[in-house]
Structure 1
Amino acid sequence: MASLPYATKRLCEETRSHLPTAEAAFHLNRSEQTLRLWACKENGPLRPARIHKRLAWAVADLRHLLGA
């Protein structure tokens, strides 16, 4: 995975309600394309919100999935 162009907070310190795909993929240790496939096929463990035609992943769902 390419290095991130931004500093990523630990998920337990995150104050935003939703994260963009790149940051969610980082926390899940998956590729961005995997998350996009989950959204497209609606068969993954998470369902994203769509905000202005972009995917946004709920921090609460990420924490729940990771057991954090």
Structure 2
Amino acid sequence: MKNNLRVQRAIKNITQAELAEMIQVSRQTINTIESGKYVPSTVLALKMAKVFEVPVETIFELGEED
């Protein structure tokens, strides 16, 4: 799964720590999602979409291997 979480954060000008606080996870969780090492739960993905005010598909997309 691909994501553009880092881009979305840059658009909103928020840090990993700020996003983590908003959605009640650790900064390390945000880091592992951005690096592609962790795929978030549906609930977590929806919380992120709400913060960025975009559809989930704007942040996450299936890769060819998915």
TM-score normalized with structure 2 length: 0.40
Larger radius of gyration: 1
Larger helix fraction of residues: 2
Could you tell me the TM-score, scaled by structure 1's length? 0.39
The answer to which structure, 1 or 2, has the higher relative contact order (CA under 8 A, 6+ apart) is 2
Greater fraction strand: 1
